[in-house]
Structure 1
């Protein structure tokens, strides 16, 4: 019984720290542009982009693993109205469930961005994102010492402070992005974003001093054509808040199986390393405007004594509705997500 109580307590503590210090994140962070930076909204060489994301953690070490499901759509508009500038609009829905206590977060976020051409090879964009986030925690799934009287009696009072099982707040995020086409063979992008601008209250105990911390992201990526068919895609992400810091970096190598304007296919492979936490191999396949990516986290933190190095899988599906060939935005580098 003590072991069971300890297990629930540990899961409870992990869950509360997850709420306090950790924002939703993906190993394939570059494949979730709207969550990474709202200034990427509408950075699509097509009519529309749809993305689906599924992530699972700790299935080998917990009864109920942590799962994250995300879906997003975005599209460019007002192209060719003001020179080569344009705008983007998008919608993101994310649901995150953590452990036995049914700690859950659901966010619905709308975003807009404006892309300004500085010169032929440089673009700058700024974006904003606003929506609602609901967090809930199923306290009925926990048991406490006061509820044991020669056995567990859920009808007994817990003896714990009163909690609010659900809280809802407005979420507001902003970001900027710079894109550079350095040559026909090398392109770069550099972005920065800030989440939880209003630092909304985030306490199940109705403690108004417990606001969500600001979370700052800085990210970089590049597309380098090595040969006629080989490409390199390095990337780097830094996340910072008062409670947590995280640096992730990696690279994918891509090989074009078919290289035709109307018939394209590529296979990609590489790794992402999340500092002091995990390393994840990634494989991806692209055909025309469809892409599928799969990764698996190998846990390297102290938690690997429990997880046996098993983090969890992550799946990304991405589809773009293409523009007619003659209408595609050839003037701007659109990063491969």
Structure 2
């Protein structure tokens, strides 16, 4: 009925990384009317369409969703709490088609997330920042696809040597990722890694890094180049995947590389966010022959006594200035 000119509200939530099934206690359908629509766009992205609604109605629904996510829930006997950010775009003022409205809702969502707000409406001021974020997200998705093909690549790995202080001999290498965007130029990891974590692309990105680093280690071994091991950082967000350790082991094995050539590096803060899950993850890797490094140890709230429970291979501490 075009005479009603219904308002379209699109809300997208983030940090809901449970691809196989919805988590207990949350049902978007229970929070909206029969005339509204709830959809899962990707594993960690959801959209709502609220017909014949005003700003107030959108706020009410957003608050209901946020409140429903406050209660902790259990998965595999582990307790989790979920945070979420919601962006709201309005038809027709924020866009006249679904693609534009989704992009505008994305911009509002990222604004809410970056400014510690529960939800935000789309505004003209968000356009420039949102356009770049969207361009980087889309570019990263494309780069990950293209890097798995033959031809020019945008993503590359560089290897930074680690040295013993007493004789300056090489102890190993840290694996660093670089991105040369065809139009935006060099994009700093400090910009695209957080975005990858927020969009869930960090999973594919880490998988690519582990595979490429393992292949490089294998090639160096064949060429007689001594490198000892390669250290690869993983994100705290990835720890929510209970099969992460086995996936990493399988990736290394699939390349033909030796497990002891690879070090998996994670920060102390990542460990402390989910200590039980982290310890199990570290144990699985170490027992399989993969080295594990705890980075920035001593900068968080853990104590030296906590060392007894960490089966890590090495610790890295921050030097105070």
TM-score (norm 1): 0.23
**Structure 1 or 2: more helix by fraction:** 2
TM-score (norm 2): 0.24
**Structure 1 or 2: more strand by fraction:** 1
